[in-house]
Structure 1
């Protein structure tokens, strides 16, 4: 009985791992509602060199710590054809401040999309914030980097390694990001049921 249970747990665990995107995979398209009430799709960015997809929310302290850094990333990299697209996967029934009206109040200069369709599952996002750097290969958006924005989730002034910015520099130079994966630090996603 114990062997059967252990096998079932391992089988389920392997399937969950396999369902997550890996570096080198083609990112699935999405079409979600932005805070300006318009639909935004990944395919809308086919004229860009890449996209910085950030799964984030309003209520999580870590997401709040990163708000200004995410704004700065967009301001810096959108002109270089690597804009930010933020996606909120959290259920606003559980966390009212993650509701659409609160998303609108953020006033971000980049799309902030409501994920009521489970896009976070297709990407394998588990935290807020959780970053996926996409590189436009001309045949689709390839995952170039997955993980954290930098090495200091709480204090921007203490950042020593800017993982995402280093990854963007590598991609722009035609190289693989090193590291290509880091551990995302943040609150667990509270998805729509």
Structure 2
């Protein structure tokens, strides 16, 4: 009898673990339709993708205050927004971290960082951490390039900004720029997914 209970318990544990693992790793794939969101910006106003009536798409970047990788990419994210916002692809930055786990990613410190760096884009707080799991983001930074269509905002690229997180001057391939340029030119994106390099999201 004890053996049966043990086996049942072990089976239940494995089943639940698999369920949890699959849910944790669930997220958008290239070609999926990304649902809209309404998140608080550092100016205390709510922002959603639907606010951007004239946008052709969005460069959604999950990033944060404290991560060295995120910090290293801040100027590059600002440059992406300045280059592509006028062409219809603005940056939408989202902080997915739980400030109870990482206090440096609090909403008040987000405001300070945005002002200090002169962010030209919304810097939104994923309060309750409801949005990043939908996307399947695991790192900061982690990029999701969306294209606006009649069917909704279609995921066209997922991954890293470029191929060198340490040294911008040594970058050889600019994944996000190449992907956006392809969309603007009506061409197929050659590299649709890459591995995001950064800090793990603090849940």
Q: TM-score, normalised by structure 2?
A: 0.87
Distance 1:15 1:35, change over 3 A: closer
The yes-or-no answer on 1:45 pairing with 2:52 is yes
Moved beyond 6 Å, runs of 4+: none
Partner residue, 1:153:
165
Partner residue, 1:27:
34
Q: How many residues were matched structurally?
A: 190
Unpaired stretches in structure 2, ≥5 consecutive residues: 1-6
Q: CA RMSD in A?
A: 1.8
Distance 1:6 1:91, change over 3 A: closer
Report the alpha carbon displacement of residue 171 of structure 1 after superposing the two structures with TM: 1.3
Give me the whole-angstrom Cα distance separating, in 2, the residues matched to 1:113 and 1:7: 36
Of residues 80, 97, 122, the one that matches 1:73 is 80
Of residues 126, 131, 135, the one that matches 1:123 is 135
Partner residue, 1:163:
175
- Summarize deviations over 1:78-119 as a string: whole Å, max 9, x none: 011100000001112222221111111222111000001320
The higher radius of gyration belongs to 2
Q: TM-score, normalised by structure 1?
A: 0.91
Unpaired stretches in structure 1, ≥5 consecutive residues: none
Partner residue, 1:101:
108
Partner residue, 2:125:
114
Partner residue, 1:190:
202
